[in-house]
Amino acid sequence: MNPQYKRILLKLSGESLMGDKNFGLDPAMLAQYANDIKSVIEKGVQVALVIGGGNIYRGMNEVETGIERAQGDYMGMLATVINGIAMQSMLEKVGVQTRLQTAIKMDQVAEPFIRRRAIRHLEKGRVVIFGAGTGNPYFTTDTAGSLRAVEIKADAILKGTRVDGIYDSDPEKNPEAKKFENITFADAIGRNLKVMDMTAFTLCQENKMPIVVFDMNTTGNLLRIIQGEGIGTVVKD
């Protein structure tokens, strides 16, 4: 079976790497994600990866902490690099070649982000992990993921979450919440559904970049999406 997508950008939250912990990294979650990514690499799919940093540092209120917003955002960018290194290590442990590229130069740790080089790595079957967000404060890792997906000409953004798609209300609070199988960008905006922050969402809408929101914590879901199964919710025009 031919994969539904040839090149994807997988967006993971930092919190997803915590597993059952209150902070930090859960090796079991890293291993699960690494094996799931390996399963789609083996199908010939090119995978880029953006991971948040919320398991290590989440921007705090400037009034409460005294840390100005820009400085806090740079701290968050460094947290995404820590997560990127951890995922890189686990992927290579299961036999997947990787490259870590960062938007902030740190030569001893990673390559600088160079778009053409990233695409070449993908063509060679390497997983490219994009760290440090966009390199600019005031932008989220959702925006970084959307930007990188557009730059590398991905077929779709796959956003792994802890719920199995997009609902009309919070399914963890409302058992009657209705799940959408497909929804348009305009409808998602009109319903005020928090798929991504508005900057990221608008970037995807303007560049006709489909978003698939799915439960990454269920082993095998990533491969099922690649094989064309109706997993999660698809956002597109």
- Statement: residue 64 has pLDDT above 80: no
- Statement: residue 59 has pLDDT above 70: no
Superfamily of domain 7-235: Acetylglutamate kinase-like (3.40.1160.10)
Range name among 93-102, 168-177, 197-206 with the lowest pLDDT average: 168-177
pLDDT value at position 66?
Answer: 84
pLDDT value at position 215?
Answer: 95
Give the pLDDT mean for 54-70. Answer: 81
pLDDT value at position 60?
Answer: 63
Give the pLDDT mean for 25-47. Answer: 97
CA distances from 99 to 69, 182, 210, 235 (A): 30, 33, 25, 29
- Statement: residue 221 has pLDDT above 70: yes
Per-residue pLDDT tens over the stretch 116-147: 999 999 999 999 999 999 999 999 999 999 99
Alpha-carbon distance 111 to 87, whole Å?
16
Backbone angles phi, psi at 191, to 5 degrees: -85, 0
Confidence (pTM): 0.95
User: Higher confidence at residue 162 or residue 216?
Assistant: 216
Give the pLDDT mean for 20-34. Answer: 94
